Structure 1
């Protein structure tokens, strides 16, 4: 599906500043849709000459009422009598509400058209169609009346260019929403209406009385556990009353946490109060704290495992120095390298915020360690091509062990004493698979070599881990240009 930017660039001559404003509007207009109990469609005039023509570049449905449209309108181009209300709003720069209900199949709907301006008060750059499904028309309650009044104020601010507010860095537009809790303030900061969910959120903070009539800034400051945090929340309410749109703020009191967002209400440039959205996020923050504690515990475990593995490696190294039999000493030294390669993965996991490993650095360190195994008179150079990227721990640990064995095998058995050459580790991803090869320019595989029949411990480790733990495939073959190549294919599907 085409994005808003794609559709605007394809059908109009609007510039980047206008597109950015439309993006911010589409990011914040769920609020207006829910307060209006109506669908919103964002129309922009096309560059076509002659008859007015509009293209729909964004659409949102209300979560508080039935939609007027079952079909998606994004990308639809309209012209003729169907866009007459959009043309009036565009050219006259005013909200259009004069029409009779129209029918979409069996659904009657009320049409409105809201011109869209930027904050600098420039020309109208688009029109928001506000279309209300009339099949569920009923006597409005106090909640619905306050919702609709607030929606009309915000619609006028869209026409004035004062909505949406500037977006704060790093802040999303996902919460709080209308249904989470809504408080309307008059110009003095007194609460004129509070939805039931807003009242419940403040009760969690310790308010026993009703919100209506309270000075919300003073009340919030008084309820907060931390006086400084309470004063900050109070200042943000006052900022909204002055016409600013401050960043969201969390308030903690009596073990509860409430997220607050304050928006100014300045229809036609006249400050008439503020809209405060609140959401009880106590359980969300409790789960966040549990996850943080769990993550810290997991990282500490990885740190201790790394330390223990390094201790084991040190003990094996000491033992190797005391052993006089060359074969036994070589076996112990191989064990040291295997344990050290696993420790590298746990070292990375101990500082990672999740159970994922950036593998390139680890592979480079394993390759450097393998290069040291080559006989002093040999000149073997190891290098990496491509990137392994980030991999989950259950893939990273066995993969590092397999590559450690393949690199050691290439360095130890691929080159005659005194000879030189290269060992290349290549990695790339293709169709949810990681393809890895370890290729050397050495003397190649011996005649009759069979990976499955090999009885050396290193080859047994490679076979077991590649086909078992990694659920992949491993193949070793002699290269046409000389040397040996080991090819490993590892599936990266989440359903391993």
Structure 2
């Protein structure tokens, strides 16, 4: 077991014990790889910094240009784009130029080291850059590369596009990159000109050039490179085999989405805590009411408890729903299930029916509506029916183009609205809340056949 690899991985990475064992086993083959390929071989791993990797193992060739070991040193994206590209994307790189830790020009061929689908490191085969190689490479590029200055198919306007635009010929050689693309690859650490490079060294995901030619159009999901997020589209020019690659930076959009989700979750948690606190207050009042021997005081306690639980109902619904809108029918049913009304245990009411249109109310008005519904149902339970009755309460929700309408009616004994107007605390609460908070109005009709109360308020949800 190579203790140095284990120590470095534990200090600089978040690799598991199994990941480290894979790297340790691969380390035994590095001298053979160095001898076979005639280059220096390294294993680099991700660090907490997305733009830096840590060298955890090496096998230096005889006559290497390195004057000392680089194990334990950092490799930065700006100097070794091939290594960081493969660590970020899992895509191999072929002989891409870079700069070593000792500031020497190098060419790197990189392959991802994986534990199943997880990239745990990068295997780097590194060669020195000789003058002979540079001249030979330039000659090959000139033979393969069509000069973009004479290519009429490239729109000049592309240099003013925010997205990175790259155009490859049918051999997969880059013919054109707009200014955004050049800036983007410089950010990735690429030193040399992009034009003339093959698709293999510029792809940011494990997609072959041949597959794209066959598919004619491909689009990636979110691709993360360090802390940045990108979307990549591939498309063929109609009439020829030139390939367009478009890279769009989605980082700001993704950050905004995450911030919105974080904010929504925080609001959701607040609603949950408010609901719990209100239920605690209701429980304390309930305990206190049990100690009272005055029936009227017990009723007053229960009415207060119901009002508190009505408010808690709104927060309970909002704690489960992030969009801040409440289905009115669901709100009404929750109010009914969470509260106990005077006379409920006497069986005065046979059933409470809730039906109507699927319409919504915003969170700010939801609490008000919950209180209003509670008061109306409470009044119906307490006053509409006599002991021994088997009455029915019906709640309907209707919606038109401009307004929501909620109708609460019963088949009880009725009352005189004019007589009750100044004496009923509950009805005064209803009228005040609907007019002030909901900017609506309330209509009462009552007879010996029952009572009907209609609430109407502007629909803005």
TM-score range with shorter-chain normalisation? 0.5 to 0.7
Match of 2:310 in 1: 341
Tell me which of 134, 145, 153 is aligned to 2:153.
145
In the other structure, the counterpart of 2:218 is: 246
- In structure 2, relative to structure 1, the CA distance for the partners of 1:401 and 1:299 (3 Å cut) is same
Candidates 261, 267, 275, aligned match of 1:306: 275
Cα deviation, residue 444, structure 1? 1.0
CA RMSD of aligned residues (A): 3.0
TM-score by length of 2: 0.61
Please report how far the alpha carbon of residue 487 of structure 1 lies from its aligned counterpart in structure 2 after TM superposition.
0.8
State the 1:144 CA deviation.
7.1
Report the 3-state secondary structure (helix = DSSP H, G, I; strand = E; otherwise coil) of the residue aligned with 1:454: coil
Give, in angstroms, the shift of residue 442 of structure 1.
0.6
After TM superposition, the structure 1 = structure 2 runs for residues 8-27 of structure 1, keeping only pairs within 5 Å, are: none
Q: Distance in 2 between matches of 1:293 and 1:450?
A: 49
Residues 1:443 and 2:413 are matched in the alignment: yes
- Mind listing any 5+ residue stretches in structure 2 that lack a counterpart? 1-147
SS at match of 1:478: strand
Q: Which residue in the other structure is 1:470 paired with?
A: 438
Q: Distance in 1 between matches of 2:151 and 2:291?
A: 84
1:62-141 matches, within 5 Å, as none
Q: What residue is the counterpart of 2:228 in the other structure?
A: 256
Classify the secondary structure of the residue corresponding to 2:376: helix
Contact 1:205 1:253 in 2 (8 A): no
Aligned length: 312
Tell me, yes or no, if the aligned pair for 2:353 and 2:394 is still in contact at 8 Å. Answer: yes
Question: Superposed, which structure 2 residues align to 1:448-467 within 5 Å?
Answer: 448-451=418-421, 453-456=422-425, 458-467=426-435
Alpha-carbon contact 1:472-1:489 (below 8 Å) kept:
yes
Aligned to 1:402, which of 363, 372, 391?
Answer: 372
Shift, 1:311, TM fit: 1.1
TM-score under structure 1 normalisation?
0.57
**Residue 62 of structure 2 corresponds to which residue in structure 1?**
none
The residue number in structure 1 matching 2:207 is 235
Query: Aligned equivalents of 2:190 and 2:305: distance in 1?
Result: 64
Equivalence for 1:354: 323
* Conservation of the 8 A alpha-carbon contact between 1:239 and 1:246: no
Deviation of 1:244 (Å):
4.5
Greater Cα radius of gyration, structure 1 or 2: 2
- CA contact under 8 A between 2:154 and 2:176: conserved in structure 1? yes
Tell me the equivalent position of 1:75: none
Say if 2:400 is the partner of 1:417. Answer: no
Shift of the alpha carbon at 1:309? 1.2
Distance 1:391 1:379, change over 3 A: closer
Contact 1:180-1:278 at 8 Å conserved across structures: yes
Q: Is the 8 A contact 2:177 2:195 kept in 1?
A: yes
CA deviations over 1:102-138 (Å, ceiling 9, x no partner): xxxxxxxxxxxxxxxxxxxxxxxxxxxxxxxxxxxxx
Partners in 2 of 1:454 and 1:207 — Cα distance? Answer: 82
Q: CA deviation at 1:436?
A: 0.8
Kept in 1, the 8 Å contact 2:285–2:305? The answer is yes
Aligned to 2:87: none
1:365 CA displacement: 2.8
What do the CA deviations read for 1:421-474 (whole angstroms, capped 9, x no partner)?
Answer: 2111111111221011101111111363353x2352x22321222111111111
1:197 match: 180
CA contact (8 A) 1:370 1:407 kept: no
Q: Hey, what's the Cα distance between the residues in 2 that align with 1:357 and 1:390?
A: 5
Preserved CA contact (<8 Å) 2:309 2:338? no
Counterpart-to-counterpart distance in 2, 1:470 and 1:237:
61
Q: 1:386 to 1:371 in 2, by over 3 A?
A: farther
Cα distance 1:179–1:276, how it changes in 2: closer, same or farther (>3 A)? same
- Note if 1:491 corresponds to 2:461: no
Distance 2:320 2:151 in 1: 50
- Once the two structures are TM-superposed, the CA of residue 236 in structure 1 deviates from its matched residue by 6.9
Secondary structure, aligned partner of 1:435 = strand
The structural deviation recorded for 1:204 is: 4.3
Aligned to 1:315: 284
CA displacement at 1:391 relative to structure 2: 2.3
Aligned to 1:426: 396
Please give the alpha-carbon distance, in whole angstroms, between the structure 1 residues aligned to 2:172 and 2:373: 66
TM-aligned CA deviation for residue 486 of structure 1: 0.9
> Is the 1:201–1:280 contact (alpha carbons within 8 Å) kept by the matching residues of 2?
no
The DSSP-based 3-state class of the residue aligned with 1:297 is: helix
